[in-house]
Chain A
Amino acid sequence: MSTDAHSLSRDDVAHLARLSRLAVTDEELDRFAEQLGVVLGAVARVQDAPTADVTPTTHAVPLTNVHRPDVVTPSLPREQVLAGAPAAEDDRFRVPRILGEEA
């Protein structure tokens, strides 16, 4: 990615969009690169914080190892779950092919 401090090039955004499975348009690439550069400049301020001996907070309320009893409970009926799917076949979610032609 670009070596410039706190900026995102058009190529950076294209790469990140690919990682995020977003088929962005050329026009979006231009706009997002500009807007996200501004946002990144602002959020990069976190790097000025005095955090030498500071541990990160992942959750506001510390909780560890929340267990529940190992008891079988009913699941949603299959037909109800599949009813919301864009495509279903033989009681399963139908998906486009996963491997490319050449694979």
Chain B
Amino acid sequence: MSSDLTRLDVTALQAALAGGETSAVEVTRAHLDAIEATDGALNSYLHVDTETALATAAEVDRARAAGEELGRLAGVPVALKDVVVTDGVPTTSGSRILEGWRPPYDATVAARLKAAGTVLLGKTNMDEFAMGSSTENSAYGPTRNPWDHDRIPGGSSGGSSAAVAGFLAPWAVGTDTGGSIRQPAAVTGLVGHKPTYGSVSRYGLIAFSSSLDQAGPMARTVADAALMHEVIGGHDPRDSTSIDAPAAPYVAAAQQGAQGDLTGTVVGVVRELGGEGHTDGYEPGVLEAFRAGVEQLRALGAEVREVSCPSFDLALAAYYLIAPSEASSNLSRFDGVRYGLRVGDDGSRDLDEVMALTREQGFGPEVKRRIILGTYALSAGYYEAYYGQAQKVRTLIGRDFLTAFGDGVDVLVSPTSPSVAFPIGQRVDDPLAMYAADLCTLPASLAGLPAISVPCGLSEGLPVGLQVMAPALADDRCYRVGAALEAAQDAARGGTFLGQLAARA
């Protein structure tokens, strides 16, 4: 059963573990063997700790045999994006500046997964400090897309997407600042959900843009994503922006959606994200798969309307001022004093010189570009024109959402990304072309709203995602509508989305 174990989704794994058909050690070993066999080609993991993973799994099996009370996810393997700080486990955020660092504590997300009984397989590759849409900005080499090894797995959570789509982890944690969960999920055929800002604790996530960063699930099914969200979400006093409100029952919402009845649900299709007059930069195959997905929602009983959100046209401009500005401030903590790399400390140089040399060698080009741009946007004389103005655009985008939801629309939909996975190397020296991959995911990020990407078909044999956006704290709507679409797609196809990839192997 060992090779099949890597093909199971988490809900099926839980049933097999609870029913005694397999053990946590067997499940863990199956994934470690798969990593050993195929991750040389994919490069989805930066760190795998075989011994600790097997020991954790053995402890779960012992506790189960002894009849002890088990965590909700006992024995289920998981992978964590390397931006999540893990006690004693190397954490780099994809950067040379943190090479070899072993953090002295766990992020809340990591601690909650640990407490639920999961087995940590390893830490996944990512664009350096989560800045990128392709994972090519990692200091540790690019990750490859399991659907086509010459293409990117999306980013910045590209190690997580490739690991889950490549059957090297049943699910993984990603983080999303401007689309870094949703876009990699879309281009690898996964479900990826960015929770409402504040729904999941940011404590122990290496900060990129603090007013936007959110951790969330990347999984093979909507139900699995909902399950992980329930486990990692909820109030955390260690994150002052964490929302002190009970989490909605996400799994129940997914189960309800999977029954396939969307009667009474109003779905708004955003004109500015691939609609009439706004198709520049969108691949025809992506728009075709997206429209077919919308028709499936209609067939399930949803009322579909077109909605205009004119300020969304400015989301990219606002985002690429706000995120670099916050990053330039957040990344000042990498000063070569308390952790990580230090360069040039030979007694002849002062602190400033050592700091500048350390940061020059420790950071890659995209990180430097964003620090420089952010420093500019925040500098006296330019602040109002750039950063201040971007924060006002953010208000306008929030108003467009409020207007749409106020007019009776339950969820808004769009393609998740304008293109399928692009070839490795194609956009790496063209920052604007790279940024265009985030076009559709940025509005929900800037407004702090929940948004999920669910597979809606193939274009040129590569996965396309459909994004469902909902009002703040209405993450359950994303899961309900997402699960309905997933169930309709699976029924029409006669199998799961990733089954198509497994069939090719």
Residues of A within 8 A of B (CB): 1, 8, 12-13, 16-25, 28, 31-32, 35-36, 38-40, 42-51, 54-61, 63, 66, 68, 76, 80-81, 83-87, 93, 95-100
Contacts and interface: CB of A to CB of B under 8 A. Distances in A.
Contact of A96 (B317, B354, B375): B354
Nearest to B210: A59
A23 B351 contact: no
A99 B211 contact: no
A56 B392 contact: yes
A87 B350 contact: no
A9 B335 CA distance: 27
Most chain A beta carbons < 10 A, residue from B197, B240, B317: B317
12 contacts: A20-B359, A21-B335, A21-B356, A45-B317, A46-B392, A54-B396, A55-B392, A56-B388, A59-B211, A61-B196, A87-B345, A93-B338
Contact of B376 (A8, A21, A24): A8
Interface string B235-249: 001001101000000
Contacts of B391: 56-58
Interface string B388-412: 1111111110100000000000000
A46 B317 contact: yes
- Interface secondary structure of B, over-half rule: helix
Given A16-B376, A49-B393, A84-B103, A57 B398 contact: yes
B47 interface: no
A85 B339 contact: yes
Contacts of B352: 21
B474 interface: no
Interface string B346-363: 010111111111011001
B472 A84 contact: no
B318 A46 contact: yes
Interface residues on B, range: 35 or more
A35 B448 CA distance: 29
B317 A42 contact: yes
A99 B386 contact: no
A54 B369 contact: no
A59 B241 contact: yes
Interface string B472-490: 1000000000000000000
B494 interface: no
Contacts of A24: 360, 368
B394 A43 contact: no
A39 B211 contact: no
Given A22-B372, A61-B243, A96 B349 contact: yes
B359 A51 contact: no
B236 to A, nearest CB: 11
Given A43-B317, A43-B320, A84 B102 contact: yes
A45 to B, nearest CB: 4
Contacts of B447: 60
B350 A100 contact: yes
Interface in B88-142: 101-105
Nearest to B372: A16
A70 B379 CA distance: 36
A81 B104 contact: yes
A38 B373 CA distance: 11
B441 interface: no
Contacts of B164: none
A83 B196 CA distance: 36
Contact of B320 (A22, A42, A48): A42
A49 B389 contact: yes
Nearest to B318: A46
A98 B391 CA distance: 36
